[in-house]
Amino acid sequence: MLRPPPQRRVLLLVEMSNRYGRGLLAGVGAYVRTSGSWTVTLVERGRGQADLAQLGHWHGDGILARIDHRKLATAIGATGLPAVDLCGERLLPEAPWVECDDRGVAELALSHLAARGFREFAYVGDRRFDWSRSRQRFITDGARAQGRSCRTIDLAQGGEALGRWLASLPRPCGIIACYDLAGMQVLAAARRQHIPVPDSLAVVGVDDDEAVCALCDPPLSSIALDAQGAGMRACRLLDAMIDGAAPASLRNLLPPLRLIERESTAGTAIEDPQLLRAVQAMRTHAGRGMPVLAAARAGGLSRRSFELKLRAALGRSPGEEIARLRLAAIARLFAETRLSLREVAERCGFRHAEYLHVFVRRMTGLTPGAWRRQLAGSGAHARNATAR
């Protein structure tokens, strides 16, 4: 009779106050269920907090932790146990760390804003955190590669300074906030300054904390990170380290999953009033695919003039923009509802579900079912086509 594998006792030090921390816990939970050989002790904590006294008395086989302050790093190092860091601060140099790829975050945010015609960029950061400084560096470099500058501000300067800074930005401008709560502060400051969002300022957050994004006015577009994948990757690393294997690399980066578009970036950076009216009409009827001629007429333009103006502003034809908007509408229904393929097809103006299948396959290279699973964050890391 086979003996069950010996239980490995793992200490988990992860804050549960934000979406990323909860995603890490979900990844660890998935690994625990499949491995069958882990017993996990979870120490409840907030960011920058830890029960160091409990850590000193704990005896086990390994530690998974968001090491975000030096006292915690020292205490974990003193145990002599294998440890994996789930934070990007890198305060315990000998421990491998698993984090989101900040370069990927920068590329996804900039490409999303550029696709909507924004040519001016800005970043709102929090200098307390290394990952915020890293994102600022990649976003600034990415803007420079496009021949553009990126203006920056730190949240520590306060709300009044943030409002004045927003008022001073060239418009239209695409703003990337280091995380969703910073995005909420930007939107609140823009409202106090009477700056219209999304057509004068468009705002992107990071983490896709749905509760925070929904509380924003307007709701905040945000980049979803693969926190669950990071949790599972860290578990595999720790299991190998407990077995005595040295980590192949200290640096383990996971690309972001996708960008979820909400109203804070639903606008288009267009100064021509006729073209803007035409594009707004296309956005209003995005789900059903507005005919090109009808959109042109909504702006008081001929079809030819509409074609030329839109290509000059966005680098896309009207037909390409209508298809992009329609795909984004389908993505929202796939990601946020449990509607059947037939029901999604009906809502998006397709006469048959087969037509929707052909459209999604042509636009994404995936079947609707595969794309829906990707949008749900089922472990795929490719960015979806609506972010382009």
Q: Mean pLDDT, the chain, as a whole number?
A: 88
Report yes or no: 62 and 82 within 8 Å, Cβ to Cβ: yes
Preceding amide of 170 cis, omega within 30: no
What superfamily in CATH does domain 273-376 come from? Homeodomain-like (1.10.10.60)
pLDDT digits (tens, 9 = 90+) for 137-154: 999 999 999 999 999 999
- CATH T-level fold of 102-225+260-265: Rossmann fold (3.40.50)
pLDDT by 10s per residue, the chain, length 388: 455 667 899 999 998 888 899 999 999 999 999 887 899 998 876 665 555 766 777 889 999 999 988 889 999 999 999 999 998 788 899 999 999 999 999 999 999 999 888 989 999 999 988 899 999 999 999 999 999 999 999 999 999 999 999 999 999 999 999 999 999 999 999 999 999 898 789 999 999 998 999 999 999 999 999 999 999 999 999 999 999 999 989 999 999 998 988 989 987 777 788 998 898 888 787 777 788 999 999 999 999 999 999 988 888 899 998 898 888 889 888 877 889 999 999 998 898 999 999 999 999 999 999 988 877 753 333 333 333 3
Structure tokens at 5: 């594998």
Residue at token pair 């383990």:
252
Distance CA 30, CA 228 (A): 9
pLDDT one-digit tens code per residue, 81-117:
999 999 878 889 999 999 999 999 999 999 999 988 8
Q: Where are the domains of the chain?
A: 8-99+227-256, 102-225+260-265, 273-376
3-state SS record for 143-154? HHHCCCCEEEEE
**At 104, is the secondary structure helix, strand, or coil?**
helix
Task: State the pLDDT at residue 383.
Answer: 34
Question: Is there a contact between 214 and 233 (Cβ–Cβ < 8 Å)?
Answer: no
CA distance 252 to 94: 14
Q: Give the tokens for residue 69.
A: 């302050």
Please check whether the two domains, 8-99+227-256 and 102-225+260-265, share a CATH topology.
yes
DSSP 267: S
Beta bridge partners of 203: 175
The position carrying tokens 């690393």 is: 237
CATH numeric code, 8-99+227-256? 3.40.50.2300
For residue 87 the two structure tokens come to 């934070």
